[in-house]
Homo-oligomer: A and B are copies of this chain.
Amino acid sequence: MELAERLLSGDKRAAARLITLVENKDPKAFEILKKIYHKSGNAYVIGITGPPGAGKSTLTDKLVKALRKKDKKIGIIAVDPTSPFTGGSILGDRVRMTDLALDRSVFIRSMGARGHLGGLSESTQAAVKILDLYGCDYIFIETVGVGQSEVDIVKTCDTTVMVMVPGLGDDIQAIKAGIMEIGDVFAVNKADRDGAKRTAREINMMLDFNKADWRPPVELVIAVDNKGVAELLEHIEKHRVYIEDTGEKEKRRIQNCKTEIVDLVQQRLMNIMLDKSNKEELINELSSKVASRKADPYSACELVFENLKVDL
């Protein structure tokens, strides 16, 4: 059977294989996705993000287990911070999720940034489509980190859960301000720790400043003890109803498509610029000149740009 058919019939290995093809930028994968893309759009995509140490993975596990009780089919994409030098994903097989990994209705995949020129966002987007076509009811995208690339990924989700934790120190103000507009639902995890209520209060205060129609709820959670998880899931479902009723979901998805198209064009231009032709040679030569102050980067950019135009 064809890979596309196998995927649509719910073959887990076909899904895994296709994601690998996507990660390897194999044109075959995108040819398949082109053909069956119109069948996608059924899965609900939930982002789980927050600073390191917030317990995002544990919380994801518990949310997934709660949804499994309702017999939902789940996909989990864990986006890992990776070395820009070695590439590839770090957490690898996510050993801590073994019990979920044994569940036939849960698909778990770690994805890492391969190489400097991005592409992680596109790979993640493609993986979401694949898991959607594979038949997942819910897809979780879990990102470690609070950087711009992670924010970009999480923005593609239907509902984003921002996981906070008490006692993160000085940076917390900056993080909170930066993420306030990203979180649709807030979880203060490790709520048995000192300062949990204060953290929740601070988040609530900041959210009160925001005059959006949807006021994100803030839930105290102890993920390891499964406390507050059911409540959190209810908030997620309420947000889902809200964005579906108001047309916000459609609006978000159009915006996501726009971002994806722009990213794809950008990636394609970069591939042309950095292929092993005379352009890379030119760029290397100019880099040396700029480093030794014989040329400036802005004029170098113009030269590369003119050269690029010829080859498009």
Residues of A with Cβ closer than 8 Å to B?
Answer: 30, 33-34, 37-41, 51-58, 80-86, 90-91, 96, 113, 116-118, 120, 125, 144-152, 155, 165, 167-175, 177-182, 250, 253-262, 264-266, 268-270, 273-274, 283-284, 286-288, 290-291, 293-294, 296-301, 304-305, 308-309, 312
Name which residue of chain B comes closest to A299, CB basis: B34
B149 touches A148 (CB 8 A): yes
- Minimal beta-carbon separation of A181 from chain B (angstroms): 5
Task: Report B-chain residues with C-beta under 8 Å of the C-beta of A168.
Answer: 52-53
Q: What are 11 sample pairs from A and B whose C-beta atoms fall under 8 A apart?
A: A52-B168, A54-B169, A56-B171, A90-B174, A118-B148, A145-B146, A250-B291, A258-B283, A258-B284, A261-B286, A264-B297
Whether A81 contacts B174 in the complex (CB less than 8 A), given A33-B298, A261-B301, A290-B257, comes out as yes
Chain B residues in 8 Å Cβ range of A300: 257, 261, 264
Q: Is the CB of A30 within 8 A of B147?
A: no
With a cutoff of 8 Å between Cβ atoms, the chain B residues found around residue A125 in the complex are 297
C-alpha gap A181/B23 in the complex (Å): 22
> Across the interface, do A178 and B82 meet the contact criterion of CB distance under 8 Å?
yes
Contacts of A147 in B (CB 8 A): 81, 145-151
